[in-house]
Chain A
Amino acid sequence: MQGASSGVGYGLKYQARCISDVKADTDHTSFITGTLSLREENEVHLIRLSSGGTELICEGLFSHPNEIWDLSSCPFDQRIFSTVFSTGESYGAAVWQIPELYGQLNSPQLEKIASLDAHSGKINCILWWPSGRNDKLISIDEENLFLWSLDCSKKAAQVQSKESAGMLHYLSGGAWDPHDVNAVAATCESSVQFWDLRTMNKTNSIDCTHVRNVDYDTKKKHILVTAEDESGIHVWDLRMPKVPIKELPGHAHWTWAISCNPEYDGLILSGGTDSTVNLWLASTSTGDGMTSESLVESPTQLVDPLLNSYSDYEDSVYGLAWSSREPWIFASLSYDGRVIVESVKPVLSKK
């Protein structure tokens, strides 16, 4: 189960938490990541996987004013991304654009398109419209959910609507449903809440505690995967929100990040604080269809859902991203600032 040799590594200067796939870059497999350093000058790295897949090349290195807690790439413009940052005392969120002539410039500055400055508390994350060109953005802080309308040309963002999560609900993150663009899942302390963006009302909730991360299955509707501190990974069918349809053991310590593969149904990647990345194959078929499109022909209960465990990390893994261009490739980021890009092909071909 050792995945030590196959990965391609890349070192960041400082500690880092977040990495994102640059979806809009259709020519290369590239990722964008930013550092988390309280006292040093933070950087945003644009990394490209070389065509042979053997090397990670730094395409661009930009300084970022504050430590980055969340970073996500714009799904329709490869030069635009959003960050959530902190000065230590306060939080901010902004949408940035990579300057066009960065190749020639010595120390290129990021161009701030818009500052999402309606927040007061700790900002958790920014969600882009799941796919395609749309001006909608969601930002989540501890208490509120904001829906923004972004105008790139005018370099402005406006709050379209805002809703408070209510007393005693500290939001911690969220995910935008790729199947239903009006639905957003937001994690809070004791549950996962589902919001309808048209009415900005809570529509549903799943009771599960200590959810660290949540992700929708991009291939299958109604399927949601949650990563929880102690109790591992749960797969939910939103039509039956009482009981998870599947439980995966997760990690030896907390399961921090979770990501569903954009192409292969049931292929789930999880990163944990035990310094490992686990690759799972969880058939999410629920009674109504033993899916023939699932990767493995109806795996029985006895088959270990854990396909592989990548343990070549020195510290907790907080960042995970599947490449949407080459969906068998993922990038992982451990806290010590090490990016490792792996291909799951050898594991899949084994199965």
Chain B
Amino acid sequence: MGVDDVPLDDKAKRMRDLLSSFYSPDPAMSSSNSSKFASLDAINTTSFDADQYMNLLVQKSNLEGLLQKHVEMAAEIKNLDTDLQMLVYENYNKFISATDTIKRMNNNIVGMEANMEQLLEKIMSVQSRSDGVNTSLFEKREHIEKLHRTRNLLRKVQFIYDLPARLGKCIKSEAYADAVRFYTGAMPIFKAYGDSSFQDCKRASEEAMGTVIKNLQGKLFSDAESIQARAEAAVLLKQLDFPVDSLKAKLFEKLEQSLEDLQLKTEEITNVLEDSSDPINLATTNDASIREFVEAIRAYRVIFPDSEKQLIKLSQDLIAKHFEITEQYIKEQISVAKFLGVLRIIWRDVLLMDEVLNEAFLPDYSLGAAQVVVKQYVANTFSHLLRDISDALTVNIHMKVEELPLQIALETSKNAVLKGSMDVLVDFRHFLDDNLGFLLKLRDSIVDWVQEGFQDFFMALDKQFLLLSGRNKSVSQEQGLTEGMMVDKVLAGLVLVLAQLSVFIEQTAIPKITEEIATSFSGGGVRSFENGPAFVPGEICRIFRSAGEKFLHHYITMRTQRVSVLLKKRFKAPNWVKHKEPREVHMFVDLFLQELEAIGAEVKQLLPEGGLRKHRRSESNGSTTSSRSNPLRDDRMTRTNTQRARSQLLETHLAKLFKQKVEIFTKTEFTQESVVTTIVKLCLKSLQEFVRLQTFNRSGFQQNQLDIQFLRSPLKETVEDEAAIDFLLDEVIKQEPDSRSFGLLLEVHQRFYFSLIYMKIVREGDLGLTSLSFMHSFLGRQEFKIFMASFDIFWQAMMDMCLLMEQVIVGTSERCLDPIPLEPPILDKLIQAKLAKKREQNAITS
């Protein structure tokens, strides 16, 4: 099968090769092409060996194959013959047609030469004629051209001679643009011939131009002219090579001057502002001037388009100046309305200027400046507030005329703190509510500033308090010396005022301010979140709580220190071992009582009365304290059991009386009672300590006994309604006839007296009486238990004090070589004598 295919292919290929070799100029190509077929059956190659082919064929093929080959070859040969014949015939045909074409061409060329000669002749004749015309017209044309030139020249000369007049005309009609055009047209001629032929003419026109320039300048500088006209004037001047820069500078100077005028006006405005409370008024005056300025800037920009930089600087200067003035201005304490008014004016100016000078980014610029000013304003407001408060504190205290200076100081300073802060907040609310451009942008910052401001303000207030109280010796070491001196001058009362004020700030002012801030100053958020909100009321509260406690403690310390000095003098000075027999109560008792009275007076002015039931003992002191719980709660029993309850109650109190340890060091509270008791207890404890350091002889001991006894009794004397007390005490005694021994009841009696006396110290008269009647009515109707419970605080304080006094006497006896107490009658006599003396003194003074 394959054998069949190959010869068929071979045949076609051979045909193609043969044909191409025929036409191809390079036989080597075709031979090389077909060389690969130069095998046995490559008939078409030049190296074809017919014999070899035959041999091969005969050897390879059988008869049938040979026969087939034969037939194939024969057919092939016949085909080739026909192909050759066809080719020869076609070539012959082409030859015949080429011969025909050549024959036709030959016929057409004949007769062409004659026509060409004819044409040449005609062209020659045309040329000769045109030459003739040309020569005949040449002279005339020359003449005409000359005449035309002359005429042009003459016209120019005429124009130049006319120029002055024309310029004059232009000036008259104010057609400066034409004048300038004419003049610049004539300029080259003047330049070339100005010195010779057209001298007069030039001078005249220059004169005219002078006026033109002058007029133009006038026009440029006159504000009455329209900006367009002025701009044109500037352009014309520039065309005339007039030194425009100097003009520009001049104009700029003018602008600056107007700016200065404006600033002057602003200053006036601020002055006016201080006098008149009407910011609108000033706004109008300022308005006009700023508008003028804006117009001027607009004109200037149109006239000198390349002058932005200077203008920007100028306007920024103006704004800076504005803010500078404002800064100066807010150093004084001004109301927020006025401040806002000023800001508003500035903002309006800025907007106006922004319209003409968009490139200056004036709003941004002024935003920066406003930020500074507003911040400063906020800071200033707070410092004013701080000053107000400290003024309120100090001024009032040093005014001795007032009846209750401390109370007034406290009230005014409370007011100053609360109202001041509220006013500040309201003021700053205005900032936020105002829709002024930059205030809107500054809103967040303002919120932060206000919060920060409050935080810093309260910190500063705390420091200021410390400074006022003279306690910050260690706060600033450099000031150590001066502070040390101040300490003596600081009034104890002021410290108490500070203590109370701190409590007020912590409990009242801060919550209110926090609330206010929360409602209108929340947000902010310019500050980073890590720092948290700027105003931390919790922290401030904590600071003031501890400050309040510190001040109260400090007050107590100051007061007890004075008593300590008194006691120290008393106990250090005499030789107690050689003391003489007591003749009268020592005067230190008087001084001590005076001190207590002074304290009572101060405390009464400032501190609230203690809610009787509010009293809580601190848990920090002594295990014995905790075991004693509220007796009221312990025995909730029916009315039938009241007797037993009463006796139990009394028992606990009495048991406490004889307890060794005195709970004198309880937490002091912000009440009159608490403070006074603490001071009294501390002083008595000091007395005890002083006594322990001495050694007494019998008389020394008796003297002390007398003094302490007197400390108890004059207090009793000051209670006015003795009968009522006696009645009361009788009641008390009657209530417990069966279960208590008389001695114990007497003890109660004595202590109870003292509690009343103490109340008398604290409350000075009327209140004491009120309490007495209150107690009286109670005792009339209700149980003794309730009375005891409600007077728990007094009771305890009294018992503490009595115990302390007893301890003083015990301490004295311990330190006495020969402790024999004074006989009661003598004691009584001496005390009565002292009382009488005192009454006498009171009578004299009153």
Q: CB within 8 Å of B: which of A119-168?
A: none
Pick the residue among B484, B621, B692, B695 that contacts A335 (CB under 8 A): B692
Interface of A is mostly: loop
**Residues of the B chain whose Cβ atoms lie less than 8 Å from the Cβ of A242:** 477, 480-481
B30 in the interface (beta carbon within 8 A)? no
Are B817 and A243 closer than 8 Å at their CB atoms? no
Smallest CB gap from A1: residue in B:
B620
Which of A27-35, A247-255, A343-351 lies on the face that meets chain B? A247-255
Contact flags A223-257 to B (C-beta < 8 A → 1, else 0):
00000011100000000101111110000111000
Whole-angstrom distance between the Cβ of B283 and the nearest chain A Cβ: 53
B564 in the interface (beta carbon within 8 A)? yes
Pick the residue among B480, B560, B664, B814 that contacts A243 (CB under 8 A): B480
**Residues of the B chain whose Cβ atoms lie less than 8 Å from the Cβ of A247:** 473-474
Smallest CB gap from A88: residue in B:
B695
Are B695 and A253 closer than 8 Å at their CB atoms? no
**Residues of the B chain whose Cβ atoms lie less than 8 Å from the Cβ of A273:** 685, 689
A115 in the interface (beta carbon within 8 A)? no
Q: How far is the CA of A128 from the CA of B220 in the complex (A)?
A: 104
Q: How far is the CA of A163 from the CA of B623 in the complex (A)?
A: 48
**Residues of the A chain whose Cβ atoms lie less than 8 Å from the Cβ of B564:** 210, 229-230
Pick the residue among A229, A243, A335 that contacts B473 (CB under 8 A): A243
Are A86 and B695 closer than 8 Å at their CB atoms? yes
**Residues of the A chain whose Cβ atoms lie less than 8 Å from the Cβ of B572:** 170
Whole-angstrom distance between the Cβ of B46 and the nearest chain A Cβ: 114
B34 in the interface (beta carbon within 8 A)? no
B342 in the interface (beta carbon within 8 A)? no
Are B817 and A231 closer than 8 Å at their CB atoms? no
**Residues of the A chain whose Cβ atoms lie less than 8 Å from the Cβ of B623:** 2, 4, 311-312
Smallest CB gap from A244: residue in B:
B474
A25 in the interface (beta carbon within 8 A)? no
Are B557 and A230 closer than 8 Å at their CB atoms? yes
**Residues of the B chain whose Cβ atoms lie less than 8 Å from the Cβ of A314:** 660-661
Contact flags B550-592 to A (C-beta < 8 A → 1, else 0):
0000000100110010000000100001000000000000000
B815 in the interface (beta carbon within 8 A)? yes
A15 in the interface (beta carbon within 8 A)? yes
A293 in the interface (beta carbon within 8 A)? no
Are A15 and B664 closer than 8 Å at their CB atoms? no
Q: How far is the CA of A245 from the CA of B686 in the complex (A)?
A: 27
Are B815 and A38 closer than 8 Å at their CB atoms? yes
Q: How far is the CA of A244 from the CA of B665 in the complex (A)?
A: 26
**Residues of the A chain whose Cβ atoms lie less than 8 Å from the Cβ of B511:** none
Q: CB within 8 Å of B: which of A293-348?
A: 309, 311-312, 314-316, 335-336
A39 in the interface (beta carbon within 8 A)? yes
Smallest CB gap from A335: residue in B:
B692
B816 in the interface (beta carbon within 8 A)? yes
**Residues of the B chain whose Cβ atoms lie less than 8 Å from the Cβ of A243:** 473-474, 477, 480
Most buried by B among A170, A229, A231, A316: A229
Smallest CB gap from A275: residue in B:
B661
Pick the residue among B480, B481, B686, B816 that contacts A253 (CB under 8 A): B686
Q: CB within 8 Å of A: which of B473-496?
A: 473-474, 477, 480-481, 484
Smallest CB gap from A249: residue in B:
B553
A274 in the interface (beta carbon within 8 A)? yes
Whole-angstrom distance between the Cβ of B832 and the nearest chain A Cβ: 32
Pick the residue among B557, B561, B689 that contacts A316 (CB under 8 A): B689
Q: How far is the CA of A38 from the CA of B818 in the complex (A)?
A: 10
**Residues of the A chain whose Cβ atoms lie less than 8 Å from the Cβ of B650:** none
Pick the residue among B481, B621, B682, B815 that contacts A311 (CB under 8 A): B621
Task: Please tell me the size bucket of the interface on A.
Answer: 35 or more
**Residues of the A chain whose Cβ atoms lie less than 8 Å from the Cβ of B660:** 314-315, 336
Pick the residue among A39, A230, A274 that contacts B561 (CB under 8 A): A230
A288 in the interface (beta carbon within 8 A)? no
Q: CB within 8 Å of B: which of A237-286?
A: 240, 242-247, 252-254, 273-275
Are A38 and B473 closer than 8 Å at their CB atoms? no
B608 in the interface (beta carbon within 8 A)? no
Smallest CB gap from A69: residue in B:
B693
Q: How far is the CA of A1 from the CA of B560 in the complex (A)?
A: 27
**Residues of the A chain whose Cβ atoms lie less than 8 Å from the Cβ of B577:** 88-89
Contact flags B802-846 to A (C-beta < 8 A → 1, else 0):
000000000000111100000000000000000000000000000
Q: CB within 8 Å of B: which of A204-230?
A: 207, 210, 229-230
Q: How far is the CA of A86 from the CA of B817 in the complex (A)?
A: 12
Smallest CB gap from A272: residue in B:
B665
Are B817 and A253 closer than 8 Å at their CB atoms? no
Whole-angstrom distance between the Cβ of B449 and the nearest chain A Cβ: 28
Smallest CB gap from B568: residue in A:
A210
Q: How far is the CA of A311 from the CA of B665 in the complex (A)?
A: 12
Smallest CB gap from A170: residue in B:
B572
Are B665 and A38 closer than 8 Å at their CB atoms? no
Q: CB within 8 Å of B: which of A187-216?
A: 207, 210
**Residues of the B chain whose Cβ atoms lie less than 8 Å from the Cβ of A244:** 473-474
Q: A242-B481, A253-B664, A275-B622 are in contact. List 6 more A-B contacts (CB 8 A).
A: A229-B561, A242-B480, A244-B473, A245-B474, A252-B664, A335-B692
Q: Which 9 residue pairs spanning A and B have beta carbons closest together?
A: A252-B665, A243-B480, A88-B695, A274-B665, A243-B477, A230-B561, A230-B557, A89-B577, A242-B480
Point out residues on B near A: beta carbons under 8 Å.
Answer: 473-474, 477, 480-481, 484, 557, 560-561, 564, 572, 577, 620-623, 660-661, 664-665, 682, 685-686, 689, 692, 695, 814-817
Can you give 9 A-B contacts (C-beta < 8 A)?
Answer: A230-B561, A245-B474, A246-B474, A252-B621, A254-B686, A273-B689, A311-B622, A311-B623, A335-B692
